[in-house]
Structure formats: structure tokens, C-alpha cells
Amino acid sequence: MGSSGEAGTLSASPGPPASALRVLPLTDRPGWQAAGEVSLLTRPAWEQALCHLARSDEETCHLELSAVTFVDVAGVSALAMTAQGLPQGRRIVLEEPPATLRRVLDLFWPDLLTVEVIGR
């Protein structure tokens, strides 16, 4: 991931394709690309990606979410808690998140300045 040199794939336990989540490091900027859904079954992979993101020393980390079909409230909460724990001056840019993720963030964390949403 980014300049830290971390690479690899994070994935949830195998299951039906509808309940899968695939998370890969971005190659052109610091952050991760996710595809699938964030739910009870896939939350460990989601939280692992958020942990990697939080440990990064990059000022801005990206989460490319255009291929994410669903994020449950606990997944949004994990994202918000990660963002709230970032050191001052750091932020997460959500690219093309599902509309429900954006609505839940706006509803429960309207003043979360460490998250920027672009697209959708």
C-alpha cells in the first residue's frame, strides 16, 4: 500500500459470490480497492483493510468502492471509527461509494471532516 510497500489481497472467508468481499491495494495511489459487499461475513477483511489504512503514514488514503454493492451499518461504523482515530491532517477519500454508505455517514457522522466522498 502506497509507500509502505505493503501488498497483497485481503479476503473474507469463501462463500457465495454475493457475500464475498475482495480488497486489493491500489497501484496508482495510496489506499485500497474493494469489490463485493461488507456484511457480517466479510467484515474481518474490511476491518483489516481499514487497519492497514490507519497504520499508513500517507496524508491521504483512498478507498475505491465503485464495485462495492452493499455496506452494512457496522461496516460504515468501522469506517467512521477508523477516520475518527486518524491523526490530525490525515484523511480518507471514498471514491464512488454505494449511496447507502454516504447516507449513513451523513446521518450519523455529519461532521466527520476526515472523510471526503467523491462520486455517486
Mean pLDDT of 22-47: 94
What pLDDT, in 10s, does the model give residues 35-62? Answer: 999 999 999 999 999 999 999 889 999 9
Mean pLDDT of 3-13: 46
**What is the amino acid identity at position 92?**
I
Mean pLDDT of 106-117: 94
Residues with Cβ within 8 Å of 114's Cβ and at least 6 positions away in sequence, in order, are 83, 84, 86, 90, 91, 92
Contact 64, 97 (CB under 8 A): no
Please name the residue that has the C-alpha cell 451499518: 73
Tell me the pLDDT band of 119, cut-offs 50, 70 and 90. Answer: confident
Mean pLDDT of 64-76: 96
What does the alpha-carbon distance between residue 12 and residue 40 come to, in Å, rounded to a whole number? 10
Report which of residues 8 and 41 the model is more confident about: 41
Asked whether the predicted pLDDT for residue 4 surpasses 90, the reply is: no
